[in-house]
Structure 1
Amino acid sequence: MPAIYKDAHRKINERVSDLLSRMTPEEKFAQMHAYWLILQSDGNHRERTDLSDEFSGVTEQAALTERLKLGIGQITRPLGTHIVEAKEGVRAANRLQKTLVEETRLGIPALFHEECLVGLLCKDATLFPSSLNYGSTWDLDLVERAAAAIGEEARSTGCHQGLAPVLDVSRDVRWGRTEETFGEDPWLVGMMATHYVNGLQGKKRDLLATLKHYVGHSFSEGARNHAPVHLGFCELNDIFLLPFEMAVKLANAGSVMPAYHDIDNQPGHSDEFLMTTVLREQWGFDGLIVADYGGVSLLHQHHGISHDAAESAALAFNAGLDVELPKDDCARHLAQAVERGLITMEKIDEIVSRVLKEKFRLGLFEQPYRDENGVVLQTESTRKIARDVATRSMTMLENNGVLPLHGKPRVAVIGPTADDPLALLSGYSFPVHLIISDMLEQTSQVTTPLQALREQLGGDNVHYSKGCHIIEKRMAGAPVFPGDSGGKPMQSSPVSHDISLIPDAVKTAEQSDVVVLCVGDLSGLFQSGTVGEGSDTDSLALPGVQQQLLDQLIATGKPVVVVMTGGRPYNLGGQEDNVAALLMAWAPGQEGGYAIADVLTGRAEPGGRLVVSIPKSAGAVPYYYNHKLKSGGTPFAFHFGSRYPFGFGKTWTEFDYSPLQIESDSVPSDSGVVTVSVIVRNSGTVAGSEVVQLYVHDKVASMVRPVQELKAFQRVHLEPGASARLTFSIPTDMLNFTRRNGERVVEPGEFEIRVGASSADIRSAGVVRVTGETRVITGKWRMVSHCEVED
């Protein structure tokens, strides 16, 4: 008779209990961590070693083959760790799984995870646009379709868990990981994340999405990677926890990853209140909490709240962690932690039960292998979705009438990002993430703006000059923790200051009718680029000599269309009024060149709207539209504010708004719904779309509230002269905020409802009174507004 845990017809809880009872302590510990391996189909696997070992303080370990006999919880990025053909990678992963399933005492399969933020992190997978592009579409269904497509590619390679999406709410665009965010509004981030999770996981939740970085990672001191976060719980809950709560309650997210930083001196990887009290007990989260890479070891290596790896492991697992990633730097000391009384076997059993439960639920015991011939990457439909995201995210900030380009003008395409495939990709794209290799050969599926414009305008009409470099030679090896606290000495910036290419670019411009100048940054980890994880900045000036290039091109008198790509916005040194047009493309992925060319030539409209405000200068940051009234100082500082605010974006036409109509000027705080309508008319001569945005301002509250907050939006496409009535319904639950006792409440009072084309372009407003008693929000609450469109 087979063991209960091997019987697929038994209940999962019975299988977990049976298997747990058979496991030795060492076999249990093994389920609580991962191995980061370079897998081989012949079974000759080896451990990955690089700077991350120094980062986490790892030392030599016992032979891998001996440790694998105990089983393993997860395998870190089997296809995303090195350059390997997907089919061969699946074959190698199957070989490892065979060892675990057929050659260990209990036969417990491993769970494989990969990065999935901007596409599966795997050779030849589709390279999707960045999260800022996702957000800029303001299209929840499209984001869900993109995530579903990424999920299908991941499943086909045997991936069980994707380390995405990122729910950090942008606060300071100097932060290198701004490119990974959906933007600066917490509710919009929550909606985007909810749809992303729904798409990636599917209805069966047979691929776990991972919400990260829990929580507040994006509001770090000075916008520096891993730096401390200074927040009270009220703001933490209203701004940074809200998206996580939405994705847990609305999308049943399967996993959560804590962040590296500390909040008020409490590191995220040892925060029992956030991981257990809030996440599991208050929200009902039932998935796995997995460490950010090396995050457990940082408790003693960097934060200094423990003496050694055993104590760090005990702190993290007692606080609520389930699995240490990417290796066993601290978990391999769990036996010592138990012996020292730092953690109990009862706690170990609780954690391992959750890990086993998820493996049974995912069906790993019944289907541990993936068909190596079933890998599906780069399908036509997936590429189309990637192109749709890129195109719909194109955000036009300036246009004096030069766009769209008509006919076959002589176009000078200039700039360091015009023909660099890597410039269209963000940090968690496969070629950028493995910048340690010469990855240009891995970018053949990327179409650059130069290539696309030549296709559309003809090669004879397009002339190219690079103009300058951003970084002349892409290299890895930047210190992971440089600084003045015992780390490595600071290295010099790799950014180029060579101006020798500018004269040739000026000559090319002078022989053209219009200049398309492609500027921006290059994503790269830990200062191997100008943006990305660990690549923060102290300035919003264009990196290197790009500003000098722009200045000299404008001086030619030719109309200059600036196309900006990258992971954060930059200023143009005061030339915003002098450029013919400015198109913000972010990091639009492998189809980004086509998306840029389609908008420049009028084949597509610039439908994107900003999801991060573009501050006037670095002196204005942190800046975000939903600030408090006193954020700008008293009087408001001249440098405070944003030229291009949240929600802003121009298109080919204009729209008029009718006065706002309010269905009822008072609604009850208990289960009430604020219903308002507005008529929007295309008053221009061409068809186009408008993203109608609804903001709320709480006029008087018991706590200080932001000047306004986004609560609803709706895109509407209209032919010239056509109009549509949009009716928004906002549940009163969404008017809540957090009081000092940690409770979410809806208070009675007056709320101003504002409708417009951006946070700074309000077209109509009215006041609604919420009546009744102050209501405490508990459990599940109404987090989503709705809009009906009537032509």
Structure 2
Amino acid sequence: MNVPYKDSKNSINERVADLLARMSREEKLAQIHALWLILDAEGQHQLRQDSFAGIKSEGWQARLANGLGQITRPLGSHGVAPKDGVKALNSLQRYLVENTRLGIPALPHEECLVGVMCRGGTLFPGSLNSGATWQPELVEAAANAIGKEARSIGCRQGLAPVLDVSRDVRWGRTEETFGEDPYLVGVMGTRYVRGLQGEQRDLLATLKHFVGHSFSEGARNHAPVHVGERELNDVFLLPFEMAIKQANAGSVMPAYHDIDGQPAHSDYRLMTELLRDQWGFDGLLVADYIGVSLLYQHHGTAKNAQDAAHQAFMAGLDVELPGDDCVGKLDPNDQHTLPDAILDACVTRVLTEKFRLGLFEQPYTDENAISFQQPETLSLARQIASQSLVLLENDGILPLAEDQHQTIAVIGPTAADPLAHLSGYSFPVHALLEEAQESVAQVVTPLQVLQQRYGDKVVYAKGCDILTSPRMGTAVFPGDVEDSASVHVPSPVCYDDSAIADAVACARQADIALLCLGDLPGLFQSGTVGEGSDTDTLALPGVQQALLEAVVATGTPVVVILSGGRPYSLGGLEEQVSAFMLSFSGGQEIGNALVDVLSGKVNPSGRLPISVPKSAGAMPYFYNHHFKSSGTPVAQSFGAKYPFGYGLGYSRFAYRDLHIATEELAITDELVAQVTVENTSGVDGEEVVQLYVRDVLAKRVRPTKELKAFCKVKVPAGEVVTVTFTVPVDMLNYTDQPWERVVEPGDFEIAVGSSSQHLPLKGHITVLGNKPRVLPKMWKMESTATVNP
């Protein structure tokens, strides 16, 4: 008997229509949720019990006979050898394909922000590192490599990239962002999607967290967001629009917060009217974990689980993740809560993606073809890490002498701690949520490589700990207590300063001290940065400031290497140390990358993707603020110690000869600006050339400056290169009415330089016209750059 949906010769639309017509309501409901299972190769699967998600699904085994939409993190949910994990996933798929009435396979998803988040996956540098490279091609290459690792374990949807635009570095999830500029985030996010999905979109990227999640009240996890429609569109929606329209992103994930009282998971205007109707998004809208149930558990906009499901799916959601908390409580015969038309639309989109992904033809994964930790992948991770290191201060002490005869004191809590150089969304860190210890042997620490490179010239002292021990049990969630004012949770941060004396002795016997300071990632206050690990200060965690002051007081030249998911203050010692470098979350190759840069093998070329504010009192701070953001008079706490786009190297560059091809442009034209960059030093180097624009007069208040073009260029010692930027006038738009981007005729200032504050070259253009131009759906969103030696 010929079954049309099983015949790959038929069109996807024909296959979907045929399969949908054969499905019962129970089978349709099964396709719009996941299950979070601990899978077993012999089919003895167990429901994952999770204190955060609160999953207590009853009767899931019987309901599995109706099929399953997605399987949540089949390898990433627990510590399992990849081969065993693939066997277990195949066991589940075999049951669904061979033992259910319709044989519909599940769509497996995994976290993959900085690598596939399961045992053995390559641990790439964090998103801030990617942003700090200012090299979109590296981001695309990394995502491509991550995609290959994901496909090799059967993953068909990755929950990345994060397109939140950083606004307040106190927010624990700052480390997951590409930075604070919406254009930079959009370019990097677009490249990530292209790299992960590939040309065939046979693995779905998932854009998150839709939208504005990073502008939460007080930089607190899940807190409400206070933002107007225009700022929402110009800043926070822009990266999502770019990744959907330019890279055909396959999935979007709403956020946990509410905006002006409207939870993201039930926002019809954003999920349906904007995403689908206006932008033309054709993929899957999947819930953030327990985001649907939070509508009744936290937000209080739904009366129960059934009502929460009604609100979310009527608003446009397709799949509940990570389990069936709310969908599992629906009465299949209840047409009011989930009408047939809405259910059929969701299931149609789910089945369409399953056919597109080839799951019906290839539901199983070859357990002998897992591809982790390939040499070219490790080389790429090392390259991204080295290209992302941002040198903020250097009195000439770096690079270290090629034949280092001086004694090097390596001091600090992050020098030998592998976890300190990983993102919160890496598997070893995430495992701590389960109070499990995962091997971090693949992480090459700074101390390891320094000892290999300089041998007995290296002496080491830890100096202090950041945490007493990585642990869970510190988080308190809304509803756990009557009033947050009564919360008194002991901090895991360590304040024991007894080891500082050993560090001082170590520094005194050395000619130079490399002081490694920073964060320890951990979710929900199990660390000092990461999801749910927000802060109220930019002071170094624990007693690290005291350690820094004591080592500086020895008189030994100090090089500070600050790792972690946010910048910290050095308490006024920034100019007193000999060098200061940010390494963010450098991943498993950080030791090699760091020593490459310290030794001069690689000239540092990372530039800040976020501003380093003067103090927590400046928060929220971002370079592209409004003129009046600094207050009247200017608040002394306002501003950045080190601005967006800033960074030093071992070379010096001079900018000259800004030439704008045409200063009067039609409203549909392109700005062409040419600049000359000279390497005035004797060291080959790389420079990030940046072009900013200011709208001089507009109907609405506009930022003081906005990044519109950038290019990292290699300039040999003593040589000159010419960079030509082409910027569509479309990119000079702003939002007038909600979701309506317009370009207004008038004057614009053009500035080019090496950071948002060092812009030595200035020019201007005039956009001609009698009235604003409303941009079409597919407006020109990116600039281009060409380099001529």
Answer yes or no: is 1:155 the counterpart of 2:155: no
**Offset at residue 577 of structure 1 (A):** 1.0
Q: Secondary structure at the match of 1:374?
A: coil
* 2:722 aligned partner: 725
Q: What corresponds to 1:577 in structure 2?
A: 575
1:486, distance to aligned residue in structure 2 (A)? 5.9
- The amino acid of 1:685's aligned partner reads G
- Runs ≥4 in structure 1, deviation > 3 angstroms? 436-441, 482-490
The answer to whether the aligner puts 1:282 opposite 2:278 as a matched pair is yes
Kept in 1, the 8 Å contact 2:474–2:490? The answer is no
Q: 1:344 aligns with which of 339, 353, 371?
A: 339
Of 701, 704, 723, which residue of structure 1 is paired with 2:701?
704
Please point out which of 732, 735, 739 is paired with 1:735.
732
Q: Does the 8 Å contact 1:31/1:355 carry over to 2?
A: yes
Q: Does structure 2 conserve the Cα–Cα contact (< 8 Å) formed by 1:116 and 1:163?
A: yes
Measured in 2, the distance between the counterparts of 1:625 and 1:140 equals 21
Equivalent residues in 2 for 1:47-446 (5 A)?
A: 47-54=47-54, 58-62=55-59, 64-335=60-331, 339=334, 341-406=336-401, 407-408=403-404, 409-436=406-433, 442-446=439-443
Q: CA deviation at 1:425?
A: 0.3
- What do you get for the CA RMSD once the two structures are aligned? 1.2
The letter for the 2-side match of 1:661 is H
- Mapped to 2, the partners of 1:386 and 1:783 lie a distance apart of 29
Structure 1 residue 657, shift from structure 2 partner = 0.9
Correspondence for 1:540: 538
> CA offsets, 1:484-514, max 9 Å, x none?
5468944211000000000001000000000
What does residue 5 of structure 2 align with? 5
Percent of pairs with identical residues = 58
- Whether 1:636 aligns to 2:631 is no
Aligned partner of 1:778 in structure 2 is: 776
Q: Which residue of 2 aligns with 1:755?
A: 752
Matched, 1:594 2:589: no
- Whether the 8 Å contact between 1:679 and 1:726 is mirrored in structure 2 is yes
Query: Residues 275 and 319 of structure 1 are in contact (CA less than 8 Å); yes or no, is this contact kept in structure 2?
Result: yes
TM-score in terms of structure 2 length = 0.98
Q: How much does 1:720 deviate?
A: 1.5
Aligned counterparts of 2:238 and 2:418: Cα–Cα separation in 1: 36
Cα displacement string for residues 86-132 of structure 1 (whole angstroms, at most 9, x for unaligned residues): 01100000000000000011100000000010000010110000000
Name whichever of 475-484 and 205-214 sits farther off. Answer: 475-484
Contact kept? 1:26, 1:335, Cα under 8 Å: no
Q: Residue type of the partner of 2:368?
A: N
Task: Please state if 1:497 is matched with 2:492.
Answer: no
1:616-642, CA deviations, whole angstroms, 9 ceiling, x for partnerless residues? 000011000000000010111111000
Residue 334 of structure 1, CA deviation: 2.8
Q: Shift of the alpha carbon at 1:659?
A: 3.0
The separation in 1 between residues aligned to 2:634 and 2:704, in whole angstroms, is: 14
Query: Which residue in 1 is equivalent to 2:46?
Result: 46
Equivalent position of 2:22 in the other structure: 22
Residue 179 of structure 1 aligns with an amino acid whose one-letter code is: E
Measured after TM superposition, the shift of residue 527 of structure 1 is 0.4
Worse-matched range after superposition: 713-722 or 187-196:
713-722
Q: Distance in 2 between matches of 1:618 and 1:134?
A: 25
- Relative distance call for 1:3 and 1:228 in structure 2 (3 A) is same
| 2:408 partner amino acid | V
In structure 1, the gaps of 5 or more residues are none
Instruction: Give the secondary-structure state (helix, strand or coil) at the position aligned to 2:236.
Output: helix
State the one-letter code of the partner of 2:176: E
Q: 1:605 aligns with which of 591, 595, 603?
A: 603
In structure 1, what is the Cα distance between the partners aligned to 2:493 and 2:443?
A: 24
Q: What is the aligned counterpart of 2:674 among 664, 674, 677?
A: 677
Equivalent residue pairs, number: 784
In 1, the alpha carbon distance for the partners of 2:217 and 2:686 equals 39
Any idea what SS the aligned residue of 1:554 has?
helix
Contact 1:269 1:291 in 2 (8 A): yes
Counterpart-to-counterpart distance in 2, 1:575 and 1:234: 40
Offset at residue 396 of structure 1 (A): 0.1
The answer to whether the 8 A contact 1:313-1:333 is kept is no
Contact 2:93/2:106 (8 A) holds in 1: yes
Partner SS for 1:94: helix
Contact 1:418 1:448 in 2 (8 A): yes
> AA paired with 1:252?
N
The CA deviation string for residues 440-488 of structure 1, in whole angstroms up to 9 with x for no partner, is: 6511100000001111112x01111000000021112333515754689
Taking the aligned partners of 2:399 and 2:755, their CA distance within structure 1 comes to 23
Offset, 1:68? 1.0
Return 542-551 or 735-744, whichever deviates more: 735-744
Counterpart amino acid of residue 358 in structure 2 = G
Distance in structure 2 (CA, Å) of the matches to 1:580 and 1:136: 22
User: Is the 8 Å Cα contact of residues 433 and 523 (structure 2) preserved in structure 1?
Assistant: no
The whole-number CA distance in structure 2 between the counterparts of 1:733 and 1:68 is: 50
Call closer, same or farther: CA 1:757–1:363 in 2, change over 3 Å.
same
Equivalent residue for 1:31?
31
What SS does structure 2 have at the residue aligned with 1:434?
helix
- The offset of 1:603, in angstroms, is 1.3
- The separation in 2 between residues aligned to 1:140 and 1:255, in whole angstroms, is 21
| Preserved CA contact (<8 Å) 1:314 1:334 | no
SS at match of 1:758: coil
Q: Deviation digits for residues 727-751 of structure 1, max 9, x if unmatched?
A: 1110000000001354110000000
Residue equivalent to 1:654? 652
Q: Which residue of 2 aligns with 1:686?
A: 683
The range that moved more, 591-600 or 304-313, is 591-600
Q: How many angstroms apart in 2 are the aligned matches of 1:265 and 1:67? A: 35
CA 1:440–1:387: 2 relative to 1, 3 Å: farther
Q: Give the C-alpha shift of residue 438 in structure 1.
A: 6.8
Say if 2:564 and 2:583, in contact at 8 Å, map to a contact too: yes
Distance in 1, matches of 2:121 and 2:738, equals 47
Contact 1:626–1:707 (Cα < 8 Å) also in 2? yes
AA aligned to 1:784 is E
Give the Cα–Cα distance (whole angstroms) in 2 for the partners of residues 269 and 746 of structure 1: 32
Q: Distance in 2 between matches of 1:157 and 1:104?
A: 23
Alignment check: 8 A CA contact 1:421 1:440 kept: no
**Residue pair 1:77, 1:112 contacting (<8 A) in 2 also:** yes
**How far does the alpha carbon of each residue in 1:28-67 deviate from its partner, in whole angstroms, 9 at most, with x for none?**
101000000000101100011021243xxx44511x3212
Q: Please identify, of 372-381 and 468-477, the stretch whose mean Cα deviation from structure 2 is larger.
A: 468-477
User: Of residues 447, 453, 458 in structure 2, which corresponds to 1:456?
Assistant: 453
- Partner Cα distance (2:473, 2:738) in 1: 46
Query: Over residues 534-588 of structure 1, what are the superposed CA-to-partner deviations in whole Å (9 max), with x where a residue is unaligned?
Result: 0000000000000000000000000110000000000001111111100100000
Q: Give the Cα separation in 2 of the matches to 1:599 and 1:619.
A: 33
Counterpart CA distance in 2 for 1:762 and 1:439 is: 49
CA distance in 1, matches of 2:779, 2:278: 13
Q: Is the 8 A contact 1:467 1:505 kept in 2?
A: yes
Match of 1:714 in 2: 711
Aligned-pair distance for 1:596? 1.1
1:745 aligns with 2:745: no
**Structure 1 residue 345: Cα displacement:** 1.2
